[in-house]
Amino acid sequence: MPTESGTSSYYDRDQDGLVDLELHELGCCDRDWALVDDDFSGRYDRLVRWSYSLMERPVDLPVATGVKVTAGQPSLSGWEK
């Protein structure tokens, strides 16, 4: 996993009460990254990192719980499915 720092935001894109996008913004140098639950199953499916290029890899992790969740999704740069 990328190094943890900066700000973390948690989004509920399908409004089912569960996190399905965990966005980590590091504030500089195009080092932001996200965990994404594409199929809204309660488990993250992808780790996405963008820098000079877009990097993705599959993951199988439980979604975050006990965090402040925002409905909808942030305005992103086109990598989200």
How far does Cα 69 stand from its chain's mean position? Answer: 12
- Rounded mean pLDDT, 13-40: 89
- Rounded mean pLDDT, 24-31: 78
pLDDT at 18: 95
Give the integer Cα–Cα distance in Å for 72 and 54: 23
76 falls within a domain: no
43 falls within a domain: yes
Domain count, the chain: 1
Q: 63, 22 in Cβ contact below 8 A?
A: yes
- Domain range for 42: 7-63
Tens digits of per-residue pLDDT, 33-73? 999 999 999 999 999 998 778 899 999 999 999 999 999 88
- List Cβ neighbours of 4 (8 Å cut-off, separation of 6 or more): 24
Using a cut of 0.85, tell me whether the model's pTM lies above it: no
42 falls within a domain: yes
Q: Which is higher by pLDDT, 75 or 19?
A: 19
- List Cβ neighbours of 31 (8 Å cut-off, separation of 6 or more): 2, 49, 51
